[in-house]
Amino acid sequence: MKRIVLISLMVLLFTNTVTAKERQTNELIEMASFVMENKLEVNNWEVTVKEHMNLSKLEEIVRVLRSSYSVTIEENKNSKIYLVRDTHKSGNINVEYSAVFPKNKQYQPEFIVSIQSDSWNQSIKSTYLETLHSLTSKFFTEDVKIFSCMSTKASAIIEKENIVENFTEKLKIRHKNTQKDTINSTQNLEIIYGYTSLWGNKITIQDKPVNVQLVTKHIGSGDVQYIIGTPILINEY
């Protein structure tokens, strides 16, 4: 599943991180609640858990992974990456691990775990929460960063204006801004981003906090797809 992102510049402007123990809510659960309340259908979702750590700790994690899974090694001019894909699909959830060792010693190694699925229900919710808790307890510290995104299946039933209004009201979004894609002529994209005090992590753009986004993607036949995410998960949609 493709990761969802806001704007590449936002990654460089990340200024404030809330630790796992400080998190008062789970963003993915909030996203799923919004999707269900608005009678939309989940297409896919992804949660990325990541943390920079010292070399010896990440090497030990790789040893632990190798004892249970098949590890693939990829290398480029900047880093050596140990990958574990398709580790298990309990409850229709897939977990992938990436241990990134930069060749430039000025940069710190990073451990990244991706939790993904293409459906959502009460059973998957429970499995996701158990998986997230297990992973963060086993591999990560209070410095962990967690980013989430969820996309809906295309639908023409619900008016876009109602979705945007409901989204803004549910999350009590402030500092709201709207961008339109003027580069990709094959897609009609509208990106609404802003800040909600209900979620923890944030970045700062032009002295304003940002930690949530809603992407509206208009598809051929009048159907509309929605993508909800926390900043830093950004892609070509």
Question: Tell me, what amino acid is at 204?
Answer: T
Distance from CA of residue 171 to its chain's centroid? 17
DSSP state of 104: S
pTM: 0.81
At residue 86 the predicted structure's pLDDT band, cuts being 50, 70 and 90, is: low
Q: What order do you get walking across the sheet with 212-219 strand by strand?
A: 72-75, 79-84, 94-102, 110-117, 42-52, 145-152, 223-229, 212-219, 188-195, 174-180
pLDDT tens digits along 132-185? 999 999 999 999 999 999 999 877 666 667 888 888 888 889 888 888 875 655
What was the pLDDT predicted at 210? 87
CA-closest candidate to residue 175, choices 145, 153, 207: 207
pLDDT at 92 over 70: yes
Q: How many alpha carbons fall within 13 Å on the CB side of residue 111?
A: 20
DSSP letter string over 148-170? EEEEEPPBSSS-HHHHHHHHHHH
Parse the chain into domains and list their residue ranges.
8-229
What was the pLDDT predicted at 52? 97
Question: Tell me, what amino acid is at 120?
Answer: W
Could you please state the CATH topology (level 3) that the domain comprising 8-229 is classified under: TBP-like (3.30.2030)
- Rounded Cα distance between 233 and 114, Å, is 12
Residues 6+ apart with CB under 8 A from 15: 202, 203, 204
